[in-house]
Structure 1
Amino acid sequence: VENHVVGAPCGVMDQMTSACGEANKLLAMVCQPAEVLGLVDIPDHIRFWGIDSGIKHSVGGADYKSVRVGAFMGREVIRSIALSFFSQSSSANGVAHDEPEEDCVKLFEAEGSLDYLCNLSPHRYEALYGKMLPESMFGDAFLEKYANHHDPVTVIDKTRNYGVRAAARHPIYENFRVQAFKALLTSATSDDQLTSLGELLYQCHYSYSACGLGSDGTDRLVQLIQEVQHVKASKSAEGTLYGAKITGGGSGGTVCVIGRNSLRSSEKILEIQRRYKAATGYLPIIFEGSSPGAGKFGYLRIRRRIPSHQT
């Protein structure tokens, strides 16, 4: 409906979370196109907050659309490079790679029909494709060389210059970061665990911003989190807040924060709320924890009460 009726080129992450989420858990999913992998308990010593930047975003906006187009362009370029490598490997008596020849050929063949960018591992991207991807590309130049970006819900503007490398790189590394985050969340409790989880959120945030999907408000909130984090490091042995990232479609919206589940952490969140209002004039709404989706919560039926004298 959103893709073809509303015209918003979004995925299904928000819809799946709203339907399948559970309280005090994170939802693991793969959007290929929509598969729930399970739920991950949020450890008792960890807490998540959402801080609203007050900046409205829209996945139907020009920024989101252009970044999606850039990502699909990047996938098409990677496919083309992989098929070129596959052709060379198939016709030659060997290629200069660490893998055995047969396995190397199979990898190129699979990458030549890559369905989702996140299925390409970061090390393969860096070793073979990253430096060959253009930083950006005009729509007409792309169409002349590749004919189609094979995205059913966006159209390439021939006159527009699309960012390609950052948009393609983001899902490749984001998938790795999500897997690392899930593994760390279930690891032994330690300061290193929290620091690493927070660092992954920061990396997510700056990768999204590099695509062009950041905003002044969300960047300001993330900066405030960092200021609180680094000030505490010099004054207290126990940390409070450890990381933050922009969420959803970007270009505004809410920032997700991870921290220690403690009263002091909540006090720091309120301090950030006050400082953001002082800087922007907007008092952000704060969300805490996770809540049940429609599958657990159910729904409320709102019925109009008709006065008895009208019956």
Structure 2
Amino acid sequence: MGRKMIKCAASDLVSVSSTSDAPAQSDDYKEKGRDVLKSEASMEYLCKLPPHRYEAAYSKDIPETITGDAFLEKYGDHDDMVTVIDPKRSYSVKAPTRHPIYENFRVETFKALLTAANTDEQLSALGELMYQCHYSYNACGLGSDGTDRLVNLVQEMQHRKTPENGGPNLYGAKITGGGSGGSVCVIGKNCLQSAEEIAEIQQRYKAATGYQPIVFDGSSPGAGKFGYLKIRRRLIITK
């Protein structure tokens, strides 16, 4: 829904910019502005929209929620062949619209930070991005009590350590996929203290819920060492 709203708003802005006679803007500037708007009017994925463009041009007009009938009346359809809009239902719009826009920025920032020097400041920034990812995902209504509990326990561990007593060993956590019911990825220092704190989180979670979470640690060289399978589709034509 949010993508359709933004595309329609961009189309309207293209029309306005074509008839605008604002003297403060050069013809070259206005032409480039129209090119940006045209690109946004044909946008396929929200993650392609930079956060600054969302905030500058569209954020204030995206509602928190909208009913299905109100959306259909104004926009006709949401250009999605998989899902159907229920006219009687109320849909959250703003949070699911913001999430892919800012999530893409966070992922690109995380990727860039991985090339920085290995410092506490780097870990702190990486961890903050993970927390932001987690809570943005939750705002879309996609989280769970179990993963929230684990992330909160990581935060408790992180903030109980001060520079005077050695500083934190764990720096961030977020919900992640592949867990068949919920997994949390945690970032921290590669040291014994981190492993001990993870074990403490595991036991505290069990004490609170009766379930002991499984810990996956370490990594592997993956396809770089073991290779990969390439699957090709075979088309068989029969007469």
- 1:258-297 to structure 2, matched below 5 A, reads 258-291=187-220, 292=222, 296=226
Percent of aligned pairs with the same residue?
59
The 8 Å contact of residues 159 and 168 in structure 2, kept in 1 or not, is answered as no
Counterpart of 1:90 (choices 4, 15, 18) is: 18
Counterpart secondary structure, 1:156 = coil
The 8 Å contact of residues 217 and 252 in structure 1, kept in 2 or not, is answered as no
The 8 Å contact of residues 213 and 250 in structure 1, kept in 2 or not, is answered as no
CA distance in 2, matches of 1:294, 1:211: 35
- 1:199-214 to structure 2, matched below 5 A, reads 199-214=128-143
Which consecutive residues of structure 1, in runs of 5 or more, have no partner in the other structure? Answer: 1-72, 300-311
Post-superposition CA distance 1:117-148 (Å, at most 9, x none): 01000001011111100111111211111111
Instruction: Give the structure with the higher percent helix.
Output: 2
Which consecutive residues of structure 2, in runs of 5 or more, have no partner in the other structure? Answer: 230-239
The 8 Å contact of residues 214 and 252 in structure 1, kept in 2 or not, is answered as no
Aligned AA (2:157): V
RMSD: 2.4
Instruction: Give the structure with the higher percent strand.
Output: 1
CA distance in 2, matches of 1:161, 1:273: 38
Equivalences, count? 227
The 8 Å contact of residues 89 and 95 in structure 1, kept in 2 or not, is answered as no
TM-score norm. by structure 1 comes to 0.68
CA distance in 1, matches of 2:73, 2:123: 48
Aligned AA (1:126): E
CA distance in 2, matches of 1:138, 1:96: 40
Bigger relative contact order (CA 8 A; separation at least 6): 1
Matched, 1:170 2:85: no
CA distance in 2, matches of 1:171, 1:86: 24
Misfit runs of 4+, over 6 Å: 95-99
Matched, 1:76 2:76: no
* Cross-structure match for 2:166: 237
The 8 Å contact of residues 176 and 183 in structure 2, kept in 1 or not, is answered as yes
Aligned AA (1:233): T
The 8 Å contact of residues 157 and 168 in structure 2, kept in 1 or not, is answered as no
Post-superposition CA distance 1:137-180 (Å, at most 9, x none): 11121111111111222121222111001000000000000000
TM-score norm. by structure 2 comes to 0.88
